[in-house]
Structure 1
Amino acid sequence: MVTKGKELEYGSTLIFINKIDLSRNSLMGEILDELTRLVGLGTLNLLMNHLTGNVLKNIGNLRWLETLDLSKNSLSRHILERMSSLTSLAQSNLSLNNLIGRIPSGNQLQTLNDASMYKINPSLCRSPLLTKSLGDGTSDAPTITGSSVEDE
């Protein structure tokens, strides 16, 4: 790694890396789950690449993660329930992907109640998006009948 004009080589000290910004690098393929070994990671920015597949399988290992930006990629699987164990997460952006299924609820994800972090993922459902899950017949959205609103 080159920082401030000095070339640094990391070996066993990789666990101390706090920030990774690989945004706008035309990276392709799945996100390597090996990133979850960087347990001290506070920021992970993979914005605007060509990444596919799932949000990190073992993302729950990143207990100190405060900022996660995976937007503008081609992620196309479920958001894993393990994301709800990221208790330090203060900012997250998963928008502009092809993620599917229900958005996990619980813990920190409930405090990040901003629908824009999930926008343009047409097959996602649940609060804060208030849309139905395909095939499960459930919704967190109110049902409008006549002039009254009833919760399902």
Structure 2
Amino acid sequence: MRVFIPPAGDTFSTETKYLFPYSYTEERIDFQTKSGFYSYEGNILKYMSGIDLSCNKLTGHIPHELGNLSEIHSSNLSHNDLIGVSFSKIKQIESLDLSYKLSGEIPNQLVELNNLEVFNVAYNLSGNIPESKAQFGTFIEKSYEGNPFLCGPLLHKSCSKTDAPSTVSSTSDDDEGEDSWVDTYVFCASFGVSYAVMLLTVFVVLYINPHWRRTWFSFVRKCITTCRYSTVGNFLAYHISRIYP
């Protein structure tokens, strides 16, 4: 006996919830699998097994018992408030829909599901997506859409922490700016102190030694006289050239 559980609020019209393999009555079963809704009847139903718990407003952790259904071919748990993913033993699964409101991370054990053809965890999870190998190498970016906290090569988003480098960079920039200001302040202070010490040394030497004082004043007078005569000479030469071009 295989159980097909419809979404809440939906009913089968001419279908049945229970299928007996050796019944002589041809029954038609509508079943959602591989991102599509199909009708099945006849002997094919003996080889089908699936569970659809979507849109039932289920909450809490996904039972580990669901992960032990090794012969199940299709599972749809979308549109529920469920937590966690535990499907490591469902080796025959072909369609797995965990989209919308599933919390947690994608376990790497899912890459061992070699029969998986349709995989959808859109609008849910966080963390690193499984490595793109085996069946997971066939899934496209759309399978993970709507997950801003997922990362991996397929999503063109690095899983390394990007906040830390930016924080370090901004901190280093602040440190460099502070160091630059300190260097400028130290330079100005040392220059001012050195200049004041030099002037004070000159004044002390001139005050103590009269000979050097007279020599210094004589040199200053000569410089002043030379500058005055040079300025007057240039001034007169300029006006004379204006009068007598």
Aligning the two structures, in what range does the TM-score lie when normalised by the shorter sequence?
A: 0.7 to 0.9
Unmatched 5+ stretches in structure 2: 5-14, 21-46, 164-245
Deviations 1:121-150 (A, max 9, x none): 11111132111214289xxxxxxxxxxxxx
CA distance in 1: counterparts of 2:17 and 2:106, whole angstroms: 38
Greater RCO (CA < 8 Å, at least 6 residues apart)? 1
Of Structure 1 and Structure 2, the greater helix share is in 2
* TM-score after normalising by structure 2: 0.46
Say whether the 8 Å CA contact 1:18–1:41 is kept in structure 2. Answer: yes
User: Number of residues paired by the alignment?
Assistant: 124
Residue 4 in structure 1 maps to residue 16 in structure 2: yes
Say whether the 8 Å CA contact 1:123–1:133 is kept in structure 2. Answer: no
Among all aligned residue pairs of Structure 1 and Structure 2, give the percentage whose two residues are the same amino acid. 31
CA distance in 2: counterparts of 1:118 and 1:38, whole angstroms: 24
Residue in structure 2 matched with residue 103 of structure 1 by the alignment: 129
| SS in structure 1 at match of 2:143 | helix
Larger Cα Rg: Structure 1 or Structure 2?
2
Of Structure 1 and Structure 2, the greater strand share is in 1
Q: Which amino acid aligns with 1:41?
A: I
Residue in structure 2 matched with residue 55 of structure 1 by the alignment: 85
How big is the alpha-carbon RMSD for the aligned residues of Structure 1 and Structure 2? Answer: 2.4
Q: Which amino acid aligns with 1:107?
A: A
Q: Are residues 25 and 131 of structure 1, via their aligned partners in 2, closer, same or farther at CA, if it must alter by over 3 Å?
A: same
Residue 87 in structure 1 maps to residue 88 in structure 2: no
Structure 1 residue 40: Cα displacement: 0.3
Q: Are residues 7 and 115 of structure 1, via their aligned partners in 2, closer, same or farther at CA, if it must alter by over 3 Å?
A: closer
| SS in structure 1 at match of 2:154 | coil
Unmatched 5+ stretches in structure 1: 9-15, 138-152
Residue in structure 2 matched with residue 31 of structure 1 by the alignment: 62
Residue in structure 1 matched with residue 229 of structure 2 by the alignment: none
CA distance in 1: counterparts of 2:73 and 2:157, whole angstroms: 31
CA distance in 2: counterparts of 1:82 and 1:89, whole angstroms: 13
